[in-house]
Amino acid sequence: MSGSEGTDLPRVLVVGSANLDFVTRLSHLPAPGETVLGESYTTAPGGKGANQAVACARAGGAVAFCGALGTDPFAEPLLASLRESGVQDWTVRASTPTGAAFISVSEAGENCIAVASGANGTLRPEQLPPLTGVGWLVLQLEIPLETVQAAAQAAREAGAQVVLNAAPARTLPPELLRLVDVLIVNEGELRTLIGATDLRAGVRQAQASGPRTVVVTLGERGCLALSGDDWTELPALPVPVRDTTGAGDTFVGVLVAALSRGEPFAAALRWAVAGSALACTREGAQPAMPGREEIQANLG
């Protein structure tokens, strides 16, 4: 465990993945079997877990990140980004290489991502920190499911709210969904999780599986949420899209930053919508994430 061991955790804890992203811009995304030539590539800190922690911190959240990194040089830029964004470091080191993601971005700003999990796949339940002081636990699905389940269980027992971003898309055991308070998915992830084709019916079905609040991000159409009996639908902010990588993670991180400082749910959603739109206007995952003042200035 990092140098933070022994201190209480901040209000928000993100448990998840950290990857070094290798990003190539292409005229279009390759079809299966196709080779597309790009000019160059850049590297940037990424991984859904670390991205959400960084987005939360930049939006003003008090947040720690727990994940597994290798001992190779790829870990350094990931730790630097967490540090520079003000995220408390609860990472552990594995003998497996740091996770890496290979990302193609089209001229339209759409992406296609292949992840080599590496160290992320080694994070074990017994490596999780004690949840003293944590009010919000944020999870995604790029680490072992057993660890996600154990973290959610520990948060439930500690009285913390469990936020699950069910990405990448997969089906989940009912016992995990029962522990979730806020479920955040895109349309594809909702379909995989629930199997429904009608959006609102799918949201209701997801809510019936456990989470009181279900949020579906809809890309350029904004988002739809059901919290208790209340539906909220927000349009996206119209922005010039450069790269959508990490936009969903920004949405999650900014939403939790706002909720953890006591914003009402509908207001927190507006923060998330503005934050994720701003993240689409710049390249990369963490390099593109906005700060609190920029988001505030762009609230719809």
Nearest approach, Cβ of residue 133 and ligand RIB (Å) = 27
Chain position carrying tokens 């193609």: 104
Structure tokens belonging to residue 220:
């350029």
User: Which CB atom, from 47 or from 61, has the smaller least distance to ligand RIB?
Assistant: 47
- The closest of 22, 16, 94, 92 to 55, measured between CA atoms, is 16
Q: Which of 11, 48, 58, 270: binder of ligand RIB (CB under 6 A)?
A: 48
Rounded distance between C-alpha atoms, residue 17 and residue 142, angstroms: 6
Q: Which residues are catalytic?
A: 249
- 179 forms bridges with which residues in the sheet? none
* 210 makes contact with ligand RIB (CB under 6 A): no
Nearer CB in complex with ligand RIB: 220/233: 220
Residue 104 exposure: Cα atoms within 13 Å on the Cβ side:
15
What are the CA-CA distances from residue 121 to residues 45, 75, 154 (Å)? 18, 15, 20
| Minimum gap (Å) between residue 288 Cβ and ligand RIB | 10
Torsion of Cα atoms, 50 then 53 then 55 then 61, to 10°: -170
| x-or-dash string of contact with ligand RIB, 246-265, rule CB under 6 A | x-xx----------------
Footprint (CB under 6 A) of ligand RIB, residues 84-123: 101, 113, 115
Under the binding rule (CB under 6 A), the answer on residue 185 touching ligand RIB is no
- Residue of the chain from 9, 12, 13, 19 that contacts ligand RIB (CB under 6 A): 19
The Cα–Cα gap between 85 and 67 comes to 16
How would you list the strands of the sheet with 19-25, edge to edge?
A: 42-46, 19-25, 99-105, 111-116
- Residue numbering of the annotated binding site for K(+): 243, 245, 279, 282, 284
- Residue 142 contacts ligand RIB per CB under 6 A: yes
Q: Between 56 and 154, name the residue whose CB sits nearer to ligand RIB.
A: 56
Binding site as annotated, residues for substrate: 19-21, 47-51, 142, 249
Residues that bind ligand RIB (CB under 6 A): 17, 19, 21, 46-48, 51, 101, 113, 115, 142, 245-246, 248-249, 285
